Amino acid sequence: MGTHGTAGADPIEPPRSGPFPYPTIGHEPEIEAIAEKLRGKGLRPFPLPIAIDRHKGGACVRCATCDGFACKLGAKNDAEMRLVRPALATGQVDLVLDTKVLRLITDASGKRITGVEIEQDGGTKVIEGDLFISSAGAINSSVLLLRSKNDTHPGGIGNNTSDLLGRNYMAHNNTAMMAIHPFRKNKVTFQKSMAINDFYLANHHRPYPLGNVQGLGKLQGGMLTANVKFIPEWAMDLFATRSVDWWIMSEDLPRRENRVTLDNDGTVRISYTPNNEKAHNELVKVWAKTMRSIGYPLIITQRMDITVSMHQCGTAVFGHDPATSVLDPFCKVWDVDNLYVVDASFLPSSTGFNPSLTIVAQGVRVAEHIARDVLKISAAA
């Protein structure tokens, strides 16, 4: 994924097999000054690992719209740039656009998928195949499997034994924070370069985990008024030019009742009751106090609700026992011989981090297993 970072800089980082492929992108002066103040408070800020095309010859110009916007230059090392486009360039992959996948079709035994029914150009047709992978995300993969129910899979494909399909939905406890100095402008352009994990595990504030704090891409007035409608845009513009912005993230825990369901008319519903809120709220308070202590007296926070589903996971958990999981350790659906779900659905817990690189790592692991053990493709080939 072309990730920039410094191995060993994160104080809670587990052992690594090697360095990051590219060095850290570094902080702009405003962020480095804050990092120095945080070190003076006994904290250990570190360079946030970030996947952008910033190395020599890369397309990144380090602009202010990296976080929360599509990149016009193709400089974000996302799934499209680093995975889909290179796959298409091999000539061995077809990308079918303007198409909706309706359901998966099984044989009479229910043990094999024989085709996928799609809606295209105003009609429907079936694409047949020998092996099928759903990578639609934790919401839509579970919706697809639920929508594919039949006589042999009355609760949806993959739900015969565990009744876990669509359950245990997680999406993190997230809060955006603006720490504002009313008389000093923040001239930073690329703000998303620092993270703090001193509160991720038990810490000197609490004997239990609170979560992760990281820099947020520079907020702008128009972005803020969308969620805080009672403050005029001119005031938000004023705040934004004087703020340092943070993303505060804590783990939410798997609960069977937090789930994705499908109504008879096809309406998708997400039922979600937040949990682990005490830890998250304490982290928000701790970070607000920290910001005030280094010279930012005005704090504005925005808690993200159920509509913010960017870290969705957990709806088709993997495991060693079909009675307590939907997928086996290589993400194959227990109930079906040739169907895999390879996205964040497999995660049994949300941890307290963005799951993107974990999903990529599992995707690589599953692909190697399919090539080696299922398709019997030799390493030389």
Q: Is 374 helix (H, G, I), strand (E, B) or coil?
A: helix
Do both 174 and 284 map to the same domain?
yes
Do both 52 and 181 map to the same domain?
yes
Burial tier of 379 (Cβ tally within 10 Å: 0-12, 13-18, 19+)? exposed
Do both 260 and 188 map to the same domain?
yes
Do the beta carbons of residue 327 and residue 159 sit within 8 Å? Answer: no
CATH number of the structural domain spanning residue 161: 3.50.50.60
Where does a domain end: 254, 271, 303? Answer: 303
Do the beta carbons of residue 259 and residue 168 sit within 8 Å? Answer: yes
Q: What is the pLDDT of residue 221?
A: 62
Whether 289 maps to a domain, the answer reads yes
Whether 85 maps to a domain, the answer reads no
Q: pTM for the whole thing?
A: 0.92
Percent of the chain at pLDDT > 90 equals: 82
Supply the range of the domain harboring residue 141. Answer: 96-168+313-374
Do both 249 and 274 map to the same domain?
yes
Do the beta carbons of residue 35 and residue 222 sit within 8 Å? Answer: no
Do both 157 and 176 map to the same domain?
no
Whether 214 maps to a domain, the answer reads yes
Do both 187 and 248 map to the same domain?
yes
Say which residue the tokens 């570190």 belong to. 46
Tens of pLDDT, residues 203-220: 999 999 999 999 998 876
Whether 260 maps to a domain, the answer reads yes
Calpha distance 171→258 (Å, rounded): 10
Whether 281 maps to a domain, the answer reads yes
Where does a domain end: 303, 321, 350? Answer: 303
- Single-letter code of the amino acid located at 288: A
Do both 69 and 183 map to the same domain?
yes
Whether 18 maps to a domain, the answer reads no
Q: Is a pLDDT exceeding 60 seen at residue 366? A: yes
* pLDDT bucket at 225, cuts 50 / 70 / 90: very low
If one counts the domains in the chain, the total is 2
Calpha distance 196→44 (Å, rounded): 7
Do both 117 and 177 map to the same domain?
no
Asked which of 236-250, 267-281, 335-349 is least confident by mean pLDDT, the reply is: 236-250
Whether 379 maps to a domain, the answer reads no
Do both 125 and 219 map to the same domain?
no
Do both 126 and 233 map to the same domain?
no
Say which residue the tokens 């042999």 belong to. 152
Where does a domain end: 248, 283, 303? Answer: 303
